[in-house]
Chains A and B, each alone.
Chain A
């Protein structure tokens, strides 16, 4: 299938110069990445590994030193490509002097909405992120999690086909992060493409179809979640051939012995273990 990917980065390298020094921080190192349409892609990596920078390159907010970024095949540096994308920055900050509703109204107007359509959209979004009760309070009085929710609402203003979320659940309470998780499922159901990063690996494991793991600016591993964390050095019974009958027999045997088969399926390691394994070596190398 040669469908154009929703998000495509080709050999992106980005250095940030350190003022008054010759050296520069290598934030992203020759990174190539494709996010197919309709997938939820999770980018993982330790602090400072370049995830946020990668997102900014994909959005055209940061110009890479070399390489290209495309959204639905359009170069990210073209402003027009941003019609299709919603972005939740990490630790989102908005104008503190605005209320929640005013903030959303402002972003709606930036996206060309007006009149009754704008009013109803603002109301829907506030409801969607559970902030109806705080709509008319200034953002200077919002808690971290509330700001995060406004940030999420703001990202969805123009009903974009791509949603990029930089740590969407940071600072959000457990119930809120479950809601965000459900929202991501909803987005996926609606055929949107989601690119997110998070340090909460269990959540990533739950929502993502594909995972990329970054360390020191490089994409060190990438693939479908099932491929990445389907079983590693663990002891288990593997069955081949005669599936259903054999399983029934095993089940019967276990039950006869007083046990119970809780689940039958492909075993996995935890994503957390896998993550530490693939990033560990590089992190060590960087620290000395």
Chain B
């Protein structure tokens, strides 16, 4: 320590900003580093194994069946891993900072609490985006590889060039079906909604276990609530109480049933773009509601 370096250089005083993208990004990238260094990305190996396993079976099928199975397995696995990742990695973010008292050091800087929360959530979104992107790339590479093999096989099977071109086009059409990108995007959106719910839960939960259990409960309710709602609506007139109850649950619990269009993608159906936009709009709304509630709770939280 050399005490000879004075600290009295002229300081350019900038007025304090209520929101600062620099601060939020600093916290977000810090969160991403935190999650990366807790070695969450190891699950990608498991995902790789799942893909490898399913591709080994695939010579027993026709190309149509093979591609569908590959998509089924891959999108299913990406969905499960992103759900687990969203819930498990978000659940411990706030409690860990509070327990380790790292939060004191951060909030003792001119960092408003909303910047901190926004940064944390953005960090998880980064993580989800990167994980889903990596899994998607692995899956796309495999699909392209299998497509190439099938096209090669077709070349041996057809002698008539017209037949060959037709067959190859069929294979291409079956491999990269139009809804694929929309499906992957919707999986990311669902993971982001779950992360936002989990962050909200962790802002008032007393233990990580509670947060995780509650988040999975929300996930389940999110999947069944619209079925229940439909059933009620069909079963006849609702009284006022039931209507209020229904609209409250619809706001509190995300309607995850709307993500069932991912299943359509697997069977190769195109997803109309207006539907994707609608789901995106609803999803964003849920995220904003949960974020708003988190900010409100965290603002007055005693640390």
Q: Do A and B bind each other?
A: yes
Q: Chain B residues with Cβ under 8 A from A190's Cβ?
A: 6-8
Given contacts A62-B303, A128-B2, contact A79 B23 (CB under 8 A): no
Give Cα A154–Cα B102 distance, bound, in whole angstroms: 12
In the complex, number of A-B residue pairs with CB atoms less than 8 Å apart: 114
Given contacts A129-B1, A186-B6, contact A114 B34 (CB under 8 A): no
- Mark the stretch among B107-115, B208-216, B233-241 that contacts chain A: B107-115
B160 within 8 A of A: no
Give Cα A16–Cα B22 distance, bound, in whole angstroms: 35
B26 within 8 A of A: yes
Tell me how far the C-beta of A24 lies from the nearest C-beta in chain B, rounded to whole angstroms. 12
When C-beta atoms are compared, the residue in chain A nearest to B38 turns out to be A97
B16:A80 contact, CB within 8 angstroms? yes
Size class of the A contact interface (CB-based, 8 Å): 35 or more
Give Cα A192–Cα B34 distance, bound, in whole angstroms: 34
Q: How many residues of B contact A (CB 8 A)?
A: 38
Q: Chain A residues with Cβ under 8 A from B112's Cβ?
A: 79
Tell me how far the C-beta of B69 lies from the nearest C-beta in chain A, rounded to whole angstroms. 39
Q: Chain A residues with Cβ under 8 A from B106's Cβ?
A: 110
When C-beta atoms are compared, the residue in chain A nearest to B99 turns out to be A93
B104 within 8 A of A: yes
B104:A56 contact, CB within 8 angstroms? yes
A229 within 8 A of B: no
Tell me how far the C-beta of B34 lies from the nearest C-beta in chain A, rounded to whole angstroms. 6
A110:B27 contact, CB within 8 angstroms? yes
Give Cα A56–Cα B1 distance, bound, in whole angstroms: 27
When C-beta atoms are compared, the residue in chain A nearest to B13 turns out to be A83
How would residues 175 to 197 of chain A score, 1 for a CB under 8 Å from any chain B CB and 0 otherwise? 01001101101110111100000
A187:B7 contact, CB within 8 angstroms? yes
A124 within 8 A of B: yes
When C-beta atoms are compared, the residue in chain B nearest to A176 turns out to be B1
A82:B109 contact, CB within 8 angstroms? yes
Give the interface SS of chain B, mostly helix, strand, loop or mixed: loop
Given contacts A106-B30, A128-B1, contact A62 B302 (CB under 8 A): yes
- Mark the stretch among A84-92, A239-247, A257-265 that contacts chain B: A84-92
A97:B8 contact, CB within 8 angstroms? no
Give Cα A149–Cα B1 distance, bound, in whole angstroms: 9
Tell me how far the C-beta of B249 lies from the nearest C-beta in chain A, rounded to whole angstroms. 31
Tell me how far the C-beta of A48 lies from the nearest C-beta in chain B, rounded to whole angstroms. 17
How would residues 83 to 112 of chain B score, 1 for a CB under 8 Å from any chain A CB and 0 otherwise? 000000000000000001110111111111
Among A93, A124, A183, A192, the residue within 8 A (CB) of B101 is A93
A112:B104 contact, CB within 8 angstroms? no
Give Cα A249–Cα B100 distance, bound, in whole angstroms: 64
B2:A92 contact, CB within 8 angstroms? no
Give Cα A127–Cα B2 distance, bound, in whole angstroms: 7
Q: Chain A residues with Cβ under 8 A from B170's Cβ?
A: none
B5 within 8 A of A: yes
Other than the known A151-B105, A190-B6, what 13 A-B pairs have Cβ atoms closer than 8 Å?
A109-B23, A110-B27, A111-B110, A112-B14, A112-B23, A149-B1, A154-B105, A158-B110, A159-B11, A176-B1, A179-B3, A186-B6, A190-B8
Q: Which residues of B contact A (CB under 8 A)?
A: 1-9, 11, 14, 16, 18, 20, 22-23, 25-27, 30, 33-34, 37-38, 100-102, 104-112, 302-303
13 CB-based A-B contacts, threshold 8 Å: A61-B107, A79-B110, A83-B16, A91-B101, A95-B33, A95-B102, A97-B33, A97-B34, A106-B26, A107-B109, A110-B109, A130-B1, A157-B109
